[in-house]
Structure 1
Amino acid sequence: MNKLKEVLVGYLPDERPSLGKLVLFSLQHIMVMFPATVLVALLTGFHISTTIFASGFATLCFILVTKGKIPLYYGSSFSYIAAIVGITGAEFGVPASDALIGQAQFGIIMSGLVSIAAGFLIDKFGANKIEKVLPPVVTGPIAMIIGLSLAGSAMQQASGFSGSNPSDLGGYWAVALITLISILLSTVIFKKGVLSQLPILFGILIGYVFAMILDFGFGYNLLQFQDLFSGAVISAPHFTLPVPSWTAVIAIMPIALATIPESTAHLYQLDLYVNKLADQKGKPHYDIENRLGQNLIGDGVGDMVSALIGGPAGTNYGENISTMAITKNFSVFVLIGAAIITMVLAFISPIANLLYTIPAPVIGGASIYLFGVIGAQGIAILIEKKVDMFNSKNLGIIAVILIIGLGGHYAFPNGNIPFLNLELPAIATAAIVGIVLHLVLNLAERFSTKSE
């Protein structure tokens, strides 16, 4: 009997833990999503407190739109970083001007419309119709260039090369490597339990402590604590309004197309985990797998409400999905609790000030791992969907997307490709060219087959 009770421990989406457990489970979700969500704000020039608030607010809106049927947490997305930085021109840890943040907000709002439109189309025609326009041979390399286009930023922060004090470069590299190695070791050592979901947090904490040792023991100046308790302890997040910018729309809007496979994978994972627990409890299955359209609509609404108040674009966090799978806790009420607590934390100024003290090489070390993983996910899409890499059509599409995206990003100022009198954002251009090229080559292939 005791063994049976152990197997049945867990909460399905519509089940509610007691208040004490609910708060603890909610805090756990916050710990899991916090490092990555804050990191996006530090990299893009968005305000940390606003980003934290937007994360919680967008999660509540997502749960409302999906009617509590999909237990997912909304956090800041890494996929949009390069496109947003192209608009804000952000320096690490320095908030951009309200005008530039506002332009990025406008682009994110429009990208939310793309997700919503894709969601409605999937609900009406099915996911297979979307894949005809956005096949893995296009979305895979787009995901790769999103991650690899951030490689330069990660290496600059890790090395301190963009800093003003060249004498600190050795210290920068040491902190970055300690952070990176700590993250990698954590992924190997902690393979089970909640600890397996916190490698980024562990790495950042260890890198932070090592930076403090260099500061106090060897005279480095990597951390700045003078503003830690400046201003009121309780203050409202710095909300900003969208500023219409078609440049931002062109740069940011197409990124939403590349995130659809990620959302699909998350939903399928969740369906598997939830219904396995439902089987163990003898409960009816939850229809999650067939809610992809609803999920994308919720994602799009999350992007729009986040951007309306000054938050970055987001996504449903894989870290939180894994945490739910490990703890067998899929309660929507826990996610609502996490969202509300997150919004409250956004009003406590010392939290944001403390996060601003994280040295650039700590973030650089973490970014080497995180940005590389984004690129690797693009390869995973190609493998999982069994894209034929010996097919000349597929190779041509992948080659063109990679070179336009990466070559355009690194060859021209701000990653904008000069074309006639226009400045075309490299990643967005690569995505659009890839979609059009796939359609054109498919038509040519059919015409050629019919004429034989």
Structure 2
Amino acid sequence: MSNIHSTEYNFRPKDALLGAQMLFVAFGALVLVPLLTGLDANVALFTAGAGTLVFQVITKGKVPVFLASSFAFIAPIIYGVQTWGIPATMCGLIGAGLLYVILSFLIRIYGSEMLRRVLPPIVTGPVIMVIGLILAPVAVHMAMGRSGDGGAWLVPNITAIIIAGAALLTTILASLLGKGWIKLIPILLGITVGYVTSLILDATGFSAAQQAAFDPGTLQNWTAPALVSFQKIADAPVLAIPNFTFPTWNLEAILFIIPVAIAPAIEHFGDVLAIGGISGKDYVKDPGIQNTLLGDGVATSLAACLGGPPNTTYSEVSGAVALTHAFNPAIMTWAAITAILLAFVGKLGAFLGTIPVPVMGGIMILLFGAITVIGINTLVRARTDLMLPRNLAIVAMILVFGIGGMSFDLVIVKLGGIGLAGIVGVILNLVLPCKDCDAPLPDEINPAAPDHRTDL
């Protein structure tokens, strides 16, 4: 049997290229999160690599997974950056990672069934839906050429719709019709086609003509004759230390973001089961779900300490493992090393910064809609009867509190949005009586289920 097909850890220099290919599969989704949230893409690359290495140490190099930017935290990061700034938001994300750690120790003591009873699909499903729906206006604004809050024009409307449409259509077609490696990188392909479309519109003079005739109405006009400017790339150094940002204490940010970690923590079970099914090993038992969750939590907190987005296991990379039968966990070590090395390429971050906003907007329309559908599917897979008064009350409160913007000012801290919705859901599930809840828990974990970044 070839060493790459063995599930035993075997670090060899000749596997470096295969590891780089694994990073290529994850690259589009990895850099999408910092591009959407205002974080540094080079820092995200570094923390993805470092987080994967930490995960491997904690799990003793037994699981062939790659950890990188989690889509589940996009909404709270955007809100947090706008409300408290990046350092305070990082403090909240450290708290999210520590929640993973706490859950891992609870699992050691009480077993995984405890977690599934405290956080059943009736709570996690609506929370996931809120994560997707709360950012829907941002996606639409960006796809139309506006800033995320809708208060300014960045690209003329017609030009933006063409670019967003090209990126969106490419991502959908790659997901539906792609085969082999193509099916694993739809986001990367969508970004590429959207970027090339922007270059074509610039080269043909279409962008300049639309900008000259554009009427911004009452909104601020930040449009330019060209969609893409390479001046940033020219000015950036070839090699540079990533722009690390260190956290500052903020209790409000912690309480806002921690509940968001509930959904990806639960989905972590499905991710581990999925890679176990692919490689033919039971990773829930060895190294144990408590250790994989601990590794994910420590990697997330480490990322936040440096200004990077939270980490999660990447289903695209798991798909690549299934395609290549490259079960050797050391290949992910090479992927992590490649990510860390690329993080120090200054011109790479500058290049990513030239991607026009509508490219991101087009992909976000599908992305946030898909996250919402995952939340719905969580309820469907669990065969949840939403007409039961108890279930109806829990789902209704989570959705309305989260999407409607309910908030409570508790003097020392203000709770609202996704954080409040998650806390309310957990509390209601624990305190509301349920005479119809004595039946055995349904198996809400589907090994083939995507994580909260979606399987686009």
Report the TM-score when normalising by structure 2. 0.86
Whether the 8 Å contact between 1:71 and 1:335 is mirrored in structure 2 is yes
Superimposed CA distance per residue, residues 344-388 of structure 1 (whole angstroms, 9 cap, x where no aligned partner): 111111111110011100011111111111111111211222222
Q: Which runs of 5+ in 1 are unaligned?
A: 91-98, 276-285, 409-415, 448-452
Structure number with the higher helix fraction is 1
Q: How does 1:47-86 map to 2 (within 5 A)?
A: 47-86=40-79
Alignment correspondent of 1:417: 407
How much has 1:81 moved relative to structure 2? 1.3
SS in 2 for 1:62: helix
Q: Which amino acid aligns with 1:357?
A: T
Alignment correspondent of 1:19: 13
In structure 2, which of residues 402, 425, 429 is the aligned counterpart of residue 434 of structure 1? 425
Matched, 1:35 2:35: no
Superimposed CA distance per residue, residues 381-419 of structure 1 (whole angstroms, 9 cap, x where no aligned partner): 1122222233221122111111111111xxxxxxx7254
Structure 1: 4+ residue segments shifted above 6 A: 443-447
Matched, 1:214 2:211: no
SS in 1 for 2:156: helix
How much has 1:443 moved relative to structure 2? 6.6
Q: Which moved more, 1:428-437 or 1:41-50?
A: 41-50
Alignment correspondent of 2:143: 158
Q: Which amino acid aligns with 2:417?
A: A
How much has 1:226 moved relative to structure 2? 1.0
Matched, 1:255 2:245: no
Alignment correspondent of 1:105: 90
Q: How does 1:44-193 map to 2 (within 5 A)?
A: 44-89=37-82, 100-162=85-147, 164-165=152-153, 168-190=156-178, 192-193=179-180
Whether the 8 Å contact between 2:155 and 2:227 is mirrored in structure 1 is no
Superimposed CA distance per residue, residues 252-272 of structure 1 (whole angstroms, 9 cap, x where no aligned partner): 111111112221111111111
How much has 1:221 moved relative to structure 2? 2.2
Separation (CA, whole Å) in 1 of partners of 2:393 and 2:408: 23
In structure 1, which of residues 265, 290, 295 is the aligned counterpart of residue 292 of structure 2? 295
SS in 1 for 2:433: helix
Whether the 8 Å contact between 1:193 and 1:327 is mirrored in structure 2 is no
SS in 2 for 1:248: helix
Q: Which moved more, 1:389-398 or 1:258-267?
A: 389-398
Identity %: 35
Superimposed CA distance per residue, residues 122-142 of structure 1 (whole angstroms, 9 cap, x where no aligned partner): 122111111111011000110
In structure 2, which of residues 240, 246, 254 is the aligned counterpart of residue 241 of structure 1? 246
Q: Which runs of 5+ in 2 are unaligned?
A: 209-224, 439-456
Whether the 8 Å contact between 2:145 and 2:155 is mirrored in structure 1 is no
Alignment correspondent of 1:413: none
Separation (CA, whole Å) in 2 of partners of 1:243 and 1:166: 31
Whether the 8 Å contact between 2:129 and 2:375 is mirrored in structure 1 is yes
Report the TM-score when normalising by structure 1. 0.87
SS in 1 for 2:245: coil
Matched residue count: 414
How much has 1:438 moved relative to structure 2? 1.1
How much has 1:42 moved relative to structure 2? 1.3
Separation (CA, whole Å) in 2 of partners of 1:248 and 1:25: 39
How much has 1:446 moved relative to structure 2? 8.8
Q: Which amino acid aligns with 1:380?
A: N
Q: Which amino acid aligns with 1:224?
A: S
Q: Which amino acid aligns with 2:21?
A: Q
Separation (CA, whole Å) in 1 of partners of 2:432 and 2:6: 46
RMSD of Structure 2 on Structure 1 (CA): 2.1
Alignment correspondent of 1:94: none
Alignment correspondent of 1:230: 235
Separation (CA, whole Å) in 2 of partners of 1:65 and 1:326: 26
